[in-house]
Amino acid sequence: MNQDQESAMQVASVLSQALPYIQRFSGKTIVIKYGGNAMENEELKNSFARDIVLMKQVGINPIVVHGGGPQIGELLKKLNIESHFVNGMRVTDSETMDVVEMVLGGLVNKEIVALINRNGGKAIGLTGKDANLIKATQLKVEVTSPELQKSEIIDIGHVGEVSKIDSDVIEMLTNSNVIPVIAPIGVGEDGRSYNINADLVAGKVAEELNAEKLMLLTNISGLQDKEGNVMTGLTTEQVDGLIADGTIYGGMLPKIGCALSAVNNGVTSAHIIDGRVANATLLEIFTDEGVGTLITNN
């Protein structure tokens, strides 16, 4: 047998192994939060786009929610607009919000749409302002410090949280064989725009649609124990225990909070996966091993 035949047999074997997963998830909705290294490396960007197109081709309904923090920071720097952060969140005045909308709703969103379309998909980009897709309220940040006798509420401007997701427009698109690509910008009752954490938006979209899976792409290999080993197959109770004993802490807590909320509100499973791995989303869906941490409610 020559090398080409061996390679062809490997491809056939992989496809055959994927069949049960394709049958299981065909017709299901999977919400993917796209960000980090996967969004900055050219090879990984193309790999992600092909993954999304393949999912749609085999009958899965992928919905992409993307971030864009580094791209926002880069443009703000070019425009000589200084960035300030409170508890890891960018203070967003009206001038900064204009840049956020340009980057998330324009540059980043349209690049992802173009990549998916170039790979044979049919994607449409949206922000939460389109058809009132994402209703938002201003996020109030509570800050405590040794100098303060009591906690203080800090106004960080146009930073929001989700108050309502209108699933009608998403379902209309998925039923028309279109892949929605959503920028995490919400609109308030007063018409103001709000920048919302992309993990949070992805989680709320997954909850509203009773999605089969919520997948959060990260720059780490998954949730790790204190020895640095990736943990998977976790229940919500186990995750609560890992938070309580300090195994999960810091910047991972908001992401875990989104995952826990999702599986406690109708999403079958949440996955924190390594976006630095090519074809990470396909590996997590179509193999037993996966490339990250699986969290379920049972």
Range of the domain at 262: 26-296
- What's the confidence (pLDDT) of residue 9? 74
Find the mean pLDDT for residues 129-140: 93
Give me 192's structure tokens. Answer: 């103001």
pLDDT, tens digit, 9 for 90 and up, residues 175-204:
999 999 999 999 999 899 999 999 999 999
Residue holding tokens 């992401």? 255
Which string of DSSP letters, residue by residue, matches the chain? --HHHHHHHHHHHHHHHHHHHHHHHTT-EEEEEE-GGGGT-HHHHHHHHHHHHHHHHTT-EEEEEE--HHHHHHHHHHTTPPP-EETTEE-B-HHHHHHHIIIIIIIIHHHHHHHHHHTT--EEEEETTGGG-EEEEEEEEEE--TT-SS-EEEEEEEEEEEEEE-HHHHHHHHHTT-EEEEE-EEE-TTS-EEE--HHHHHHHHHHHTT-SEEEEEESSSS-B-TTS-B--SEEHHHHHHHHHTTSS-TTHHHHHHHHHHHHHTT-SEEEEEETTSTTHHHHHHH-SS-SEEEEE--
- What's the confidence (pLDDT) of residue 145? 61
- Of 11, 56, 2, nearest to 30 by C-alpha is 56
Check if the beta carbon of residue 206 is closer than 8 Å to that of residue 262. yes
User: How far, in Å, CA of 202 to CA of 33, rounded?
Assistant: 6
Residue 293 φ/ψ, nearest 5 degrees: -110, 130
Does a structural domain hold residue 21? no
Does a structural domain hold residue 103? yes
Check if the beta carbon of residue 138 is closer than 8 Å to that of residue 160. yes
Does a structural domain hold residue 271? yes
Find the mean pLDDT for residues 36-63: 91
Does a structural domain hold residue 227? yes
Question: Which of 26-30, 68-72, 118-122, 242-246 shows the lowest mean pLDDT across its residues?
Answer: 242-246
Check if the beta carbon of residue 196 is closer than 8 Å to that of residue 258. no
C-alpha torsion sign, points 218, 220, 225, 231: positive
- What's the confidence (pLDDT) of residue 148? 56
Does a structural domain hold residue 8? no
Does a structural domain hold residue 17? no
Burial 44-71 (b: 16+ CB within 10 A, else e): bbebbbbbbbbbbeeebbbbbbbbbbeb
Find the mean pLDDT for residues 242-257: 82
Q: In the predicted model, is pLDDT for residue 123 greater than 70?
A: yes
If one counts the domains in the chain, the total is: 1
Does a structural domain hold residue 46? yes
Does a structural domain hold residue 66? yes
- What's the confidence (pLDDT) of residue 173? 93
Find the mean pLDDT for residues 208-222: 91
Give me 111's structure tokens. Answer: 């690049």
CATH of the domain at 182: 3.40.1160.10
Q: In the predicted model, is pLDDT for residue 59 greater than 90?
A: yes
User: Does pTM surpass 0.85?
Assistant: yes
Mean pLDDT across the chain, nearest whole number?
88
